[in-house]
Structures are given as C-alpha cells and as structure tokens.
Amino acid sequence: MIKLYKTSCYSIGIFAFIHIGIVSAQSLPPFSDNNERYKPIIISTFLDEVNSNNGTLKVRRLGADSATAISQRAGNLLLSPIITYARGSMYTQSPYVGYNNPSSNTLGAMVTVEGWGKRSAREAQALAEANRLNTEMITESKTIETEAIFAYIDALRTKLLWQSYQEAIIDLASYQSPLAKKNILDFKDIQKVLENDLKFYAYSLINYLGKSENELPLPIGTLNLEPKSFQISELISQANSNRADITSTQAAIESASANLEVIKASKNIDVMPGIYYSETPPYSSSGTSYGSQKSFSFIVSVPLSNALFNDSDVLSAVNAQTQQEIMLQATKTKIITELNQTYLQYQSAKNRLESSNKAYQTAKDQKNNGITGVLAFREAQGELFDARTIHAKTLILLQRLSGDFQVPKFN
C-alpha cells in the first residue's frame, strides 16, 4: 500500500488540483496524432507491467530475495575452525644442536562452540529482517502503483479532452457560419496543446514501466467510476488491518526485537576446544639413541569479549525497538487524519460529479440547438471529464488509504 512516511503521494494537499466523473458512457471520436505513435493499454495491463518491470521494485525485490537467502542459512553452525601446523623446535646452541635434525612436527585443530542461544537468536533475527525487507518492498510497490494510477488518469483525462474537442469540431463542421469556423480553429489549437500534454504524460507512464519502446502508452477508458458510500470507522479499522505501512512498521518492530535478542545472546561466552598432535623423529644425544615420539594434547580456550563489560549496545537496541513502536502509533494516528481528510474531499468530489452529470445531461438534450448548443455541450462535457478525474483520484486514494488495493476499472 501507500507508504505515507516515505512519499508525498498520500499528502492531501497534493490532490487539490485533481480532476474527476460519472454518467452514462458516451461515444467519442477516436484519438489520433500524426506526429506520434501510440499503443493502447488498459489499466490492469499497465499495472501488471509496472509491478514486473519497474526498476525501483526490481531493486527492492533483489534486496528481499538476498535477505531470504541469508535467513535460510543463518541457523548454520559457525564453528570457525582453526588449523595449526608447527615445525620444530630447531636449536642453535649446544647441547641442543643435535635435536634439530630432524625436527618435530605439530598439527593442531580448534573449533568454536557458540555461547548458549546465539545460533537461534541469529536465525530468528535473519528471518525477521527478511520479513521486514519483504514488507517494505510491498509498501514501495503499492506507493508506486498508486502514483502510476494517478499518472494514467492524468493521461486519460487529457486524451478524453482531446476527443471532446474533436467531437465539437465535427459537429461545428455542419455549420458554415464564421462563428463555427472560428471555434473550429480555436479548438484545433487547443488540441495541439493537448497532444503535447498527452505526450508528456505518456512519457511519465514509460518512467513507471521502466522500459522504453517505440510506441507511447495510450490509456483507455472513460473515467466513469460509480460513486460509493463509506463509513469512516470501517475505513479506519480496515486500514489498521491492511495498510502496508502498518504491516511494514510491525515487521520493523519484530526485526528490532530480534536484533535485541541477538545482542543479548552475543554476551554469552563461547568455548574453543582443540586438539594437538606432535611427532618427534628419532635422534641421538651423548651416545644415547632415542626413538620417535608421538603425543596428543587437548586445549580449551574461553575468549572474553569486551561486550561482556559494555551494555551500551543493548541500550541502543532497546531504543531502536522503542522508536519503531512509537512510529507504529504515529502511523495509526496519521491514518485517522488522512482518512477523515480524504473522506471530506471525496464527499465534495461526489457532489461536483453529481452537478456535472446534471449539467451534462441538460447540455446533451440541447446540443442540437445550433452552434450555441454545441459549444455549451462541449463545455459541459469538459467539466464532466474534470469532475470524473477528481472523483476517480479521490475515490482511489480513499480506498488505498484504507488498505483496499483493487485495480480500478475505467472502461
């Protein structure tokens, strides 16, 4: 879902400019631009490609996959074996000079037996960290998905406005008056601006797709979403259960808690048992011959880490966990604010949509009343597309703020 603390896409102020709609679907002239090649794409296909090809999400996925791979091996034994080989001793002074030809050989091996709880704590921490990165990836994907939907809506609105002017041009062409010709020229100039705007928004869609093609994506649909009614208390409850940033923060708390346990366990003492084997070749000294000698030795080392005498790392880990718990509570508080504010915006959007629908129907009934009727209808149709845009954006935002990430249908 949308990550409010990381991006501005949830900020209510951003959507002061957005535009929306609902009424029976009307037939519009097809869009065309002789200077650019477009490839039609529906919203569901567009979002599938965004989730598959977006560069940011690919990076997030790789990070999550790496953490998962690490977690699968985090419970392995860390023996840290040490192999030792010693040659000698070789003496250079009497009466020991004779001992060094040949000299003795010593081979030794030591392993680390980890302190109690270290292995299980390390494994739990790796699993928690993998889960945290995975939830962050999901949060990021929902944020990017929402931003991509809004970019798609902007492009679709621009295309619909171009089609609206094209319909007016066709209708005005049946009138041979100077007024009709003047408006046709004016509308064609507006279409040129809209063509440039559509190209701009289409490149924004390519940015989300993460790949460049010879054809620009062309949105399909009418932005004709049906108004819905909501209970704010239900939206808040749903958000607390389903919002990705809630899940992500909860995973961060679990990761911080697991990290604290790792730090505590790190203070448990390791033991390093070892065995040594020595072999001394035959030698003679003062007329006495000695045969080869073989011996075994056992050793146990207990390293005492500085961490045993310093608990600042424990305090730091406790504070890190507390920070995440505070962030969780802050996110829940923010949910209440965001949903209430967006709900108020949505009520206004629905009212505007209703008024625009009525004005559109009235203008449609009077469309055949000469040039004035055509112009009035074009104006009402343009306002309807703007109202649909505002309605679509605020509806989608309200649903996603509550943790509902269903793909909208604009057809």
Supply the pTM of this predicted model.
0.83
Per-residue pLDDT band for 233 (boundaries 50, 70, 90) equals very high
Average of pLDDT values for 134-160?
96
Share of the chain above pLDDT 70, in %: 89
Report the pLDDT value the prediction gives residue 34, as an integer from 0 to 100: 87
pLDDT for the residue numbered 230: 96
Tell me if 147 is assigned to some domain. Answer: yes
| Domain-embedded: residue 293 | no
Residue 103 lies in a domain: no
pLDDT in tens, 325-371: 999 999 999 999 999 999 999 999 999 999 999 999 999 999 999 99
Residue 303 lies in a domain: no
Domain count, the chain: 1
The tens digit of pLDDT for each residue in 2-61 reads 333 333 333 333 333 333 333 444 589 999 998 899 999 999 999 999 999 999 999 999
What secondary structure, in 3-state letters, does the chain show? CCCCCCCCCCCHHHHHHCCECCCCCCCCCCCCCCCCCEEEECHHHHHHHHHHHCHHHHHHHHHHHHHHHHHHHCCCCCCCCEEEEEECCCCCCCCCHHHHCCCCEEEEEECCECCCCHHHHHHHHHHHHHHHHHHHHHHHHHHHHHHHHHHHHHHHHHHHHHHHHHHHHHHHCCCCCHHHHHHHHHHHHHHHHHHHHHHHHHHHHHHHHCCCCCCEEEECCCCCCCCCCCCHHHHHHHHHHHCHHHHHHHHHHHHHHHHHHHHHHCCCCCEEEEEEEEEECCEEECCEEECCEEEEEEEEECCCCHHHHCCHHHHHHHHHHHHHHHHHHHHHHHHHHHHHHHHHHHHHHHHHHHHHHHHHHHHHHCCCCHHHHHHHHHHHHHHHHHHHHHHHHHHHHHHHHCCCCCCCCCC
Q: Look at residue 297 and tell me if it is in a domain.
A: no
Residue 208 is assigned to a structural domain of this protein: yes
| Residues 393-408, mean pLDDT to the nearest whole number | 96
CATH number of the domain to which 193 belongs: 1.20.1600.10
The whole domain housing 69 covers 12-77+136-268+312-401
Residue 28 resides in a domain: yes
Q: Is residue 374 assigned to a domain?
A: yes
* pLDDT at 17 (0 to 100): 35
Rounded mean pLDDT of 218-228?
A: 94
